Amino acid sequence: MSAEAAVTETPVAQTEQPKEEQTTEAKKVFTEGKDFYLAGTYDQASEKLREALKLGVEAFGEFGVENFDTYYYYGKALLKKEVAKPTETTEENKAQEETNEAAADSTESKTPYVLALEAFEAAQKIVEAQEDKKDWELRAAKVVFATGEVYDKEDNFAKASTFYAQALELFNALIESASSEVVETQIALANAYKNTKEFTKAQELYTKAKETITARAEITDEEKAKNLKEVEELEKKIAELELEIQQSAPEVVQADENTTEVVNEVTEKIENDSIARQGVKRNAEITPTDESKRLKEINNE
């Protein structure tokens, strides 16, 4: 074997082994990160999944199909981590937040919500790249819902409702109406509508969610011994939804009254503007002959 052949063959042998090791390591670290996520330890989950994503990109490429779950769970872990943060503002928390903000400004780092959105966008690109999307439709729906969650937590309820509505449409087309995904999406969309003061839409969705949960409760009622915990959770949700509907009902009436008042004001303004325009039009209809007569009268005076 010539020296030239040895040189060309050596890099091939060297690159194949690390690639295999990266693949194995990426899958291993992802499993660890997912386990942390399922256990509810989102700090550790996000760290492990970020590490898995770095390994996955090196092993499979940025939009390698193997990275879909890593992107998805990484985004979810970041989202859950932010939601789990204490809402009560103490002096210590405030000082820590100011320190974190200063560090973020100095390094121009991205917020967890931005990172989560980027992860979901990457996951969506992987779905779109698949030739046979049928096997990926449910995954795509979950990504759309998760994207809505991010905007929801950022208090961008209008944008959240857009993604929730899209996710609900996808879920309804893919799985049975009594599934947990449909119920969760109905409630999330109803909450978003309530926050955007679209009370009628919110009430309709709360009612649909209640009916969906009731239907599920009736189905599982035959196996109460086996599914007692699920039935109890469903009954609790039904009670919560009934309260939500009752609370939103007066707001719907008030919203309708406010809408009527606004419509009346707008109608009155249009009528006034119309009258004003008619007056201007009458003045504008003076002909050159009329104007000459008026000038002659002034001169004669």
pLDDT tens figures, 175-202 = 877 788 998 999 999 999 989 988 888 8
| Local confidence band at 7 (pLDDT 50, 70, 90 cut-offs) | very low
In a domain, 292, yes or no: no
| Local confidence band at 47 (pLDDT 50, 70, 90 cut-offs) | very high
pLDDT number for residue 87: 56
Kindly give the interhelix angle for 112-128 and 137-153, rounded to the nearest 10 degrees.
Answer: 160
In a domain, 295, yes or no: no
In a domain, 178, yes or no: no
Q: What is the mean pLDDT of residues 65-78?
A: 96
pLDDT tens column, 105-132: 433 588 999 999 999 999 999 999 998 8
In a domain, 240, yes or no: no
In a domain, 49, yes or no: yes
pLDDT number for residue 13: 39
pLDDT number for residue 221: 55
pLDDT number for residue 240: 77
| Local confidence band at 223 (pLDDT 50, 70, 90 cut-offs) | low
DSSP track, 190-228: HHHHHHTT-HHHHHHHHHHHHHHHHHHHHHHGGGHHHHH
pLDDT number for residue 12: 37
Distance CA 67, CA 4 (A): 38
In this model, does residue 34 exceed pLDDT 90? yes
In a domain, 272, yes or no: no
In a domain, 43, yes or no: yes
In a domain, 111, yes or no: yes
- The parent domain of residue 5 ranges over 1-86+106-129
- Cβ atoms < 10 Å from Cβ of 258: 11
In the chain, how many domains are there? 1
**Greater confidence, 58 or 244?**
58
CA 212 to chain centre: 22
Q: For 92, how many CA atoms within 13 A lie in the half-sphere containing its CB?
A: 1
Q: Average pLDDT, whole number, for the chain?
A: 75
What is the helix (H) or strand (E) element at residue 116, kind and residue range?
Answer: helix 112-128
pLDDT tens column, 245-264: 777 666 655 555 554 554 45
pLDDT number for residue 114: 96
- Residue 3 sits in a domain whose CATH number is 1.25.40
| Local confidence band at 269 (pLDDT 50, 70, 90 cut-offs) | low
| Local confidence band at 242 (pLDDT 50, 70, 90 cut-offs) | confident
| Local confidence band at 21 (pLDDT 50, 70, 90 cut-offs) | confident
What is the helix (H) or strand (E) element at residue 93, kind and residue range?
Answer: helix 91-107
